[in-house]
Structure 1
């Protein structure tokens, strides 16, 4: 209660008495989707930042805070009250927002509860904020628009009392849904950034500062990520120009819209790389199995074909910091290897036991970081890509990190204390994970400085597994604004999400879903165990029912080339899943 009271007094100064301060530049909204809106409202003294020049756009908003913002935003309504004053039992005369609450109540923006309380410190859900605006501004749906599942994928979550208000605010482009325009998330607490967007769209002098792609429209075609990973394992689609062209054409015909081709694995690039040529004298994968990559540029071919058909191409740096022990790159740079507590360097994995044993390059070492940055920037600079993607190989297996460089770095930052012998020690894990985040921030900034439209995508394992085993705390990275699309490798079976997965996984997924495009990785099968199309149809339905931004399938060959049904039957199944072409959900693309 004391904390809420102090915060309330601070908000009072920042919202009710705006003339007391100048208008400092807000430092934490530079990459926020509602930046223009926040800046405009701040300049008009309708909303304010905090004393440290931060706006905290993702912080929750309470009922009293929203009342104060409404009073500032709509002075005309406040001057023509329609109700008599009321004394709420839980709003004393000296409460910081008492005057604002009274004005908002008398102007019909707010009502109290049946027990005579206002509950000023209760966080306000999005649906209640929109309903308050509809009530106070006296908005009704003039065109009798019909809210359908096409308008909102989570229509069933909208309370009956609010449907008229939601219809009215949708029609007037006040309801703002970021990042997925089809998800209202009605019962989730509204954030400061979202409230700013609502207020912007509700005022005539600031309307239009929010992109139309975040404004639900019953007539707008749905958006959905429909991706597929294309690999060079158990598949030769990347090794033959004709096969690649046919694959892109057929995927486009079946209404897929995103390709994730592997471009870095087994210690080689699958595109002609000058970075690799300078380092080890090999510009492209030289192995006999990859002979079809020679004398051509697979990535350029794919991008040309895909863009002609309106498909996105997001190269997948599959191996991240990992490389085969016997590869030219690993042998030349043995000083890059990290190691376990016992000094061993081999990374054992059941998924890789039939190939060369990999080692893990030290992700904290400047030379290793620069190598990865060079590969990424080479692709971003030389190709018209729509994004880049990493997975858990952008992390570090938790057993590793006991090489001399990392140990000395840890000691420097811990008064000479060595890392714990326990590889899963909480502080040791957090330290390493935070170092990975720092490099991701550097990579993010580097890419954006070159081509701001190139999105940063991650396809990790689920949490907490990804963090506990690979130090990939991707939800923390998402909260830091370093990931613009996430496609966790859930690979659930049956017609609903697997109950065996940690419940925190779904909590994390839902949180990510509400802030960035979050699709679900679906296993269409391995070469030896392809999955039947009816199972995949049920899984797609489950993903859609949960309101995720789409799905991506692992992997291309098991879409139809290697499947339990005849190819024609299999393709008909995909046509029933993706009945028409749609644009993909994205934070950065139009």
Structure 2
């Protein structure tokens, strides 16, 4: 025994040492601070998978279970499910006929969309319904000829003006909807509205092929006649494909469709997220405001998606940056479009679409890392989306896909993330309005509509062929809406715009 030390003191010292050892051991077992922070503070970042109807993914209950499990194990949070491919419905409650596929479980026992929403929401995953808008009639589709299929009564084989599909400058009939035909737009509007009414728990809606097929497309007779009337040209004249006024006409029709579907959707569910798959091919993505009109998106297929972001008629653009990482030129294109997107988010957000089937696991991870990296000004994009779930990397299969999901969770998706609550949806400061232009009880197509906000002129807009008009990003307050007939007669209506809501006149 050490002189001057009591048994009680020795015991206390031994107890302190034991306690210190326990603390050290616990500290060694505890995760590092970065892991604790990751577990406690998920970021807001979209991590999505496009799930197409051509491949397994939602044909039956088991595939949906596997899909949701894979998304969760990857650390992702959003599923973009293809619910309309060619005028069909991969869901049960629809105004278009249910899709035909030998592996799709029968309707009496399975609703792909309803079950996916239920299963995904139980795991904290959001579901967006993906609709192909223009591509509608294809000869190989089993439903062409079905009494409820739109192509049976309004496809390429039907005479004008009941033909809603487009044609080329050379007169070849094409099975794509022509957005210059008012009836085609109304049909798409009904499809979207019914979908949102039937599936109110849906988180988002996603447009694909919201464009023309090329510069020589758009020659539906009804559309040409509308254009000629609007521009004072002979009714049956045929504009050249590169005619600037004709090009702008088609561009305006695509933008009008985006605006109309956005407002119609928000009128049903203000919190619905509206996104679009947008074009990147045909350039490096380094366009300045002066040379953007030379891009393929703008000039060839009439899809001015940066303008949609600036106006606020989509919530998220998903530019399809499908570029092979292993090819230097393609890698340069990918990086160029990252820069372009950071410069053109406008009022909304951009999520990078990955051509994941083109790249190895490591190459996809490299592209994700660059997509997540802020530029020199601190501007950062809002996430990534894989095209596709079926092929998340080159050569993947059922088993290696699972392994890749684990690899994503261990690397670029290690930090937990929740799907973003976009501020203009979660905490809106502006509102929207829509109505039908009328004077003396009669609808006025293509009318000028003037918006007066709290007694001061705000802007002029124009109605569609059926009199519909709409506007977004409006400051709240009292509005006078003045519709002007071509003969000068006017009619006024009054409404109040509230943040985040659509005022219906």
Are 2:381 and 1:548 equivalent residues in the alignment? yes
Specify which of 440, 449, 452 is matched with residue 258 of structure 2: 440
Are 2:362 and 1:534 equivalent residues in the alignment? yes
What's the CA shift string for 1:343-372, capped at 9, x where partnerless? 1113xxxxxxxxxxxx11221222211111
What's the CA shift string for 1:304-337, capped at 9, x where partnerless? 1111111111110024453314623313213112
Q: Unaligned regions of 5+ residues in structure 2, if any?
A: 1-33, 35-39, 286-294, 375-379, 428-505
Q: CA deviation at 1:426?
A: 2.4
Cα RMSD (Å): 2.8
Taking the aligned partners of 1:405 and 1:258, their CA distance within structure 2 comes to 39
Taking the aligned partners of 1:502 and 1:247, their CA distance within structure 2 comes to 28
1:322 aligns to what?
136
| Structure 2 SS opposite 1:552 | strand
Number of matched residues?
350
2:416 aligns to what?
581
1:571 aligns to what?
405
| Structure 1 SS opposite 2:354 | strand
CA contact (8 A) 1:263 1:271 kept: yes
Specify which of 388, 391, 396 is matched with residue 205 of structure 2: 388
Taking the aligned partners of 1:560 and 1:340, their CA distance within structure 2 comes to 36
Taking the aligned partners of 2:403 and 2:334, their CA distance within structure 1 comes to 36
Q: CA deviation at 1:406?
A: 1.0
Specify which of 483, 486, 489 is matched with residue 314 of structure 2: 483
Which sits farther off after the overlay, 511-520 or 451-460? 511-520
2:50 aligns to what?
229
Q: CA deviation at 1:230?
A: 0.5
CA contact (8 A) 2:316 2:350 kept: yes
1:470 aligns to what?
301
Taking the aligned partners of 2:110 and 2:334, their CA distance within structure 1 comes to 45
Taking the aligned partners of 1:420 and 1:569, their CA distance within structure 2 comes to 56
| Structure 2 SS opposite 1:509 | helix
CA contact (8 A) 1:531 1:563 kept: no
Taking the aligned partners of 1:220 and 1:568, their CA distance within structure 2 comes to 26
Specify which of 79, 82, 87 is matched with residue 259 of structure 1: 79
Matches within 5 A, 1:174-189: none
Which sits farther off after the overlay, 454-463 or 510-519? 510-519
Which sits farther off after the overlay, 337-346 or 288-297? 288-297
Q: CA deviation at 1:267?
A: 2.5
| Structure 1 SS opposite 2:43 | coil
**Structure 2 vs 1, CA of residues 423 and 507 (structure 1 numbering), >3 Å: closer, same or farther?**
farther
Q: Unaligned regions of 5+ residues in structure 1, if any?
A: 1-149, 151-218, 277-281, 347-358
| Structure 2 SS opposite 1:269 | coil
Specify which of 372, 381, 392 is matched with residue 559 of structure 1: 392
Taking the aligned partners of 2:111 and 2:194, their CA distance within structure 1 comes to 14
Taking the aligned partners of 1:307 and 1:430, their CA distance within structure 2 comes to 42
1:513 aligns to what?
345
The structure whose RCO (Cα within 8 Å, separation 6+) is larger is 2
Taking the aligned partners of 1:274 and 1:260, their CA distance within structure 2 comes to 18
CA contact (8 A) 1:267 1:324 kept: no
Q: CA deviation at 1:506?
A: 5.2
TM-score when normalising by structure 2: 0.64
CA contact (8 A) 1:493 1:539 kept: no
| Structure 2 SS opposite 1:238 | coil
Matches within 5 A, 1:35-54: none
Taking the aligned partners of 2:196 and 2:176, their CA distance within structure 1 comes to 24
1:458 aligns to what?
276
Q: CA deviation at 1:557?
A: 1.6
Which sits farther off after the overlay, 256-265 or 243-252? 243-252
1:407 aligns to what?
224
**Structure 2 vs 1, CA of residues 287 and 253 (structure 1 numbering), >3 Å: closer, same or farther?**
closer
The answer to which structure has the higher strand fraction is 2
Are 2:187 and 1:371 equivalent residues in the alignment? yes
